[in-house]
Structure 1
Amino acid sequence: MFKSLPEKLLILMLILGITIGVQPALAESSLLINFNGQVISSDIDPAIVNGRVLVPLRLISEEIGYSVHWDSDTQTVFVNNTQTDNPGTSPEGANGIRLIVNGQTVTGDVAPRIIHNRVMVPVRVISESLNSIVKWESEAKEVLIVQLDSLGQDASRSIETFLTWLDASYDYPPNGTPDDFSKWITGKMNAIEEGYRSVLNYRSILEQVLTASELENNVLYQLLKEASILMEYERESVMVLLIHPDALEKLIEIAAKLQ
């Protein structure tokens, strides 16, 4: 028996409805959290609530060495930059989930909330409370978080490693061969290159989240910029065994400032 036109249209609409309903779930990509240039994994994706991007607080806080304590009785989450047995006291009379960072109550236009048993906070909270720069890349669906203290410390270690290998000399073993020396030289050059590339990467990370005018006024960026120029000079100089002592002293000074 032939079906009428309305019936055919209804069947077609149902088919299309099913297809349209399923396809976005299959095509939708997860939101990413990029911390200091590295994508970090989370058991829960960032969420968008009232136009604000929310990220899991514990994941970000512990990534930079902060301690997190959840008080279920008072619905308060305490975040401290040092490990402590006494995280703090929740203010009386407050409603909803409260966030206290280093003893200070943090508020915003979108309050922290629990999603899939995780305390989620707006990225602005991360920016203002944890000395970080946060940028939301809507097209890539990626949250870029740069924690300035840890980035500076990582850069300092890279410079120190670079300097250590730059100044390293080969100690010939009793039964050493030219091949042993060749391998050592290769390892030295690789370590110098890795230290240099790391600082370039940290510099690039800041360039992703700051405007040109902000970069000019950012002390950390200016130190990284100067260090990368000096490291490039020394990297090329070591090839012909020319190491400039003034450049070395300046790099040592920068590494100390980045700590």
Structure 2
Amino acid sequence: MANTVNGREVRPVQALVHALEVLEALGEHRELGVSELSREIGLSKTAVYNILGTFESLRFVRRDPSSSRYKLGWRLNELGALVLSGNDLDPVVTRPLLQKLAIETGESVLLSVLDREGVTYIDRVESHRPIRMVAAPGRQSPLHATASGKVLLAYQPAEVIDSVLDGTLTRFTDSTITDPAKLRKQLAEIAANEFASVVRENEPDLSSVAVPIRDYSNEVIAALAIAAPADRLDSDSAREGVLSSLRDTAQEIESHLGVNHS
């Protein structure tokens, strides 16, 4: 069955799809044996064993000799570092700014990019508070139900927005907006006001505020967000309180990307 990627029809290589399903299952469960992986992804034990053997020889997975269970390998970490180093959002520059923002607001800070029809978090600094939002780098979230996602979607061409709004808009909580007309109106307001706030839309106990990050060509390439337990960001005044800090940090990051704010 062919898929459409960026307007092009692509026929997936099934063997590669199965191999990547093995990696994704290990990423989700941390550690699995051959039989567990076989049940998890619906492949024969022989196929799973051969995939794992190939990945182990290439350092994409590692096997615990005492338990014969498998974990993700360090080669993936090396490739992830290459992805980040090839990105304009160099963590050497952005990480100290994210840390400073987390200390200033007392909340978790998320840096994310648009990744096809989702938002992918490429870095985060967690709040020091015992109750806080946690999001691992690489995690993907929906565009229509997160502040970061809405900010990134708001500045996309009309055809991209249409594609998302015409697709499946999953309701995650009672607060999730799934009406395309309401979302379209909200996205226009976000683009005009240059920030998005979401209250209990993706998770019932979580709220967030996000602002865009632009590069030297004025293109929005990322979103910077504060995420916290909903009771700490439920009020307009609480969200406005972190918005100023978010905008200041976004401008600092943009300065490193060649944006002139003078």
Instruction: Please report the TM-score for the alignment, with normalisation by the length of structure 2.
Output: 0.27
Instruction: Please report the TM-score for the alignment, with normalisation by the length of structure 1.
Output: 0.27
Larger proportion of helix? 1
**Higher relative contact order (CA closer than 8 Å, sequence separation 6+):** 1
